Amino acid sequence: MKLFRLMISGFILVFLLNMQSGTLAADSPKTALQVTVDSIIALLKDKSLSSPEKKEVRREKIRALLNERFDFAEMAKRSLAKHWNDRTPQEQKEFVSIFSDLLQASYIGKIEKYTNEKVSYESEKIKGDGKYGVVETSIVTEKVDIPIEYKLLNNSGKWLVYDVTIEGVSFVNTYRSQYDETITRNSYAKLIEDMKTKLKEVKSSL
């Protein structure tokens, strides 16, 4: 659980780090991340959206930005892994929807707790004839620097995140292991039941 919480925190911080302003053209993985970060920070600092009655409006805008930068469908497919092809098209659609809602609902509260943490970009690599990108970063805190790697896919010129690795541990691999264990020991139906229950809990906490 400690590692999982660390992964969540790192995943959230990438959107909230006070970085130098980037160009609007997402022509590289690094630039793509910067554009999203700057946009979310602007929302968090927008005084017209800071009142309680504007909370949901701001959250919806943040969700829209998350959906623009993260390929939740690809993350969901990779997380379900070998069990993906066993699902019907309808089941796949339902899984992606629940997976996406759960991730966003889990993180939205943390996003609103931005406290000016800093990020250092170590390197940027583009592989597979421009199809895949990897951005190496470090979250700089008062006590420790946390290495975080972002993997992105080039989808018709748009860079989308499909995995995050924190201190050598892949976000997608962690979910894949958890989901596989639940399906193997119980059933796919049990996994969906657990995810829906968790989603309700997280939404109520917001």
Q: Is the pTM of this model over 0.85?
A: no
DSSP class per residue in 156-183: TTEEEEEEEEETTEEHHHHHHHHHHHHH
Q: What is the pLDDT of residue 8?
A: 52
Phi then psi dihedrals of residue 186, to 5 deg: -125, -95
- Report residues of the chain scoring pLDDT below 50: 3-4, 15-26
The token pair at 10 is: 């790192």
Alpha-carbon distances of 107 from 20, 36, 154, 171, 182, rounded to whole Å: 23, 15, 24, 14, 23
Q: What is the pLDDT of residue 23?
A: 37
55 CB-near residues (< 8 Å, 6+ apart): none
Q: Count the domains in the chain.
A: 1
CATH code assigned at 128:
3.10.450.710
Range of the domain at 115: 2-205
80 CB-near residues (< 8 Å, 6+ apart): 87, 95, 176, 179
Task: Give CA–CA dist 23/38, Å, rounded.
Answer: 10
Q: What is the pLDDT of residue 144?
A: 83
Task: Give CA–CA dist 179/184, Å, rounded.
Answer: 8
Q: What is the pLDDT of residue 18?
A: 40
Helix ranges restricted to H, the chain: 2-13, 29-45, 55-69, 72-80, 89-111, 171-185, 188-205
